[in-house]
Amino acid sequence: MSFAKKYIAKEGFELSGCSTKPDFDMKPKKAVRKLDEVSRKLGKLQDIMYAHNRYSVLICLQGMDAAGKDSLIREVFKSFNARGVDVQSFKRPTSYELRHDYLWRHFVTLPEKGKYTVFNRSHYENVLVSRVHPEIVLNERIPGIEVITDIDEMFWDKRYEEIQNFEKHISNNGVIVFKFFLHMSKDEQKSRILRRLNKDKHNWKFEPADVKEREFWEEYQRYYQIAIEKTSTDEAPWYVIPADDKDVCRFILASILDEVMSTYTDIVVPELSDTLKEDLVLYKDQLLNEE
């Protein structure tokens, strides 16, 4: 089964038609075991990519509160060399970040050649939470945007275009872009938030905003639909992953990474030059003949 083909957002995409539950049966233990296998494979490929030193990978994770982004990152990338993957979590912009354009803080945290970077929430917050709460945009001090009524549909269309151009630029320069929406039902979110409230050891995860933002659920779904529809491209496709089952969600996402990365057959360990091969023999002899 090709999960990449199954869950990619293609032309005519409708979020309302996407299930939050997988359409196949997989028991939790099997999902965990299969994920371990795929994670180890991805970790080995990342080592090769590091040696190859041409590509890097950007993974953008989006989802409603409690969709499981943090635990997914922990489980999917646990087999990676620590130097090979970096996680960036984007909260409310700082005063320093607001001195720059909205894409700046994302641009400066892009992955180095040979490495993975995971955006735990991403530049898409600028067309999601900022659309639900447009007063956020006023903090950016954009010329011509003085009041909320200045933020019209043309403004958002331009922003989608800017994001597409940003992703096309980095893709053209060797960044392999994956964008995942962890698609969770409202009932499942409620269950997870209640679990945080009911279990003392999970209380620290709870934020009052998680409950407050539920009031805007339909608006978020609408703006996810628009963002995914407008920005799922060949260079930077969106994948909509059913996320009500965390174990299966993690396995699906890792499998998509593995499937797509396996198509980059040019990512190989570079062959040594004849000169360097000769030097290695000399170094080996030097070490063996040490007194």
Which pLDDT value is given to residue 113?
A: 98
Query: Each residue's pLDDT tens digit in the chain (291 positions)?
Result: 799 999 999 999 999 999 999 999 999 999 999 999 999 999 999 999 999 999 999 999 999 999 999 999 999 999 999 999 999 999 999 999 999 999 999 999 999 999 999 999 999 999 999 999 999 999 999 999 999 999 999 999 999 999 999 999 999 999 999 999 999 999 999 999 999 998 777 777 778 888 899 999 999 999 999 999 999 999 999 999 999 999 999 999 999 999 999 999 999 998 888 788 888 888 888 899 887
Which pLDDT value is given to residue 139?
A: 97
Give the pLDDT confidence of 51-92 residue by residue, as tens digits. Answer: 999 999 999 999 999 999 999 999 999 999 999 999 999 999
In Å, what is the CA distance from 97 to each residue of 112, 136, 156, 230? 21, 13, 21, 26
Give the DSSP letter of residue 87: E
Q: How far is CA 201 from the centre of its chain?
A: 27
Which pLDDT value is given to residue 204?
A: 75
Closest CA to 214 of 249, 237, 185: 185
d(CA 256, CA 268) in angstroms, rounded, equals 20
User: Residue 96: phi, psi to the nearest 5?
Assistant: -70, -45
Contacts of 106-111 spanning 24+ positions with Cβ under 8 A: 106/166, 107/166, 110/56, 110/58, 110/170, 110/175, 111/56, 111/57, 111/58, 111/86, 111/175
Which pLDDT value is given to residue 285?
A: 86
DSSP SS3 for 59: strand
Cβ atoms of 60 and 180 within 8 Å: the answer is yes
Identify the structural domains of the chain with CATH numbers, from first to last.
3-289 (3.40.50.300)
CA 124-101-106 angle, 5° bins: 50
pTM of the model: 0.94
Phi-psi region of 28 (alpha: psi -120 to 50; beta: other; left: phi over 0): alpha
Q: Buried b / exposed e across 275-284, counting CB within 10 Å, b at 16+? A: eeeeeeeeee
Report DSSP letters for 228-284, one per residue: HHHH--SSS-EEEEE-SSHHHHHHHHHHHHHHHHTT-TT--PPPPPHHHHHHHHHHH
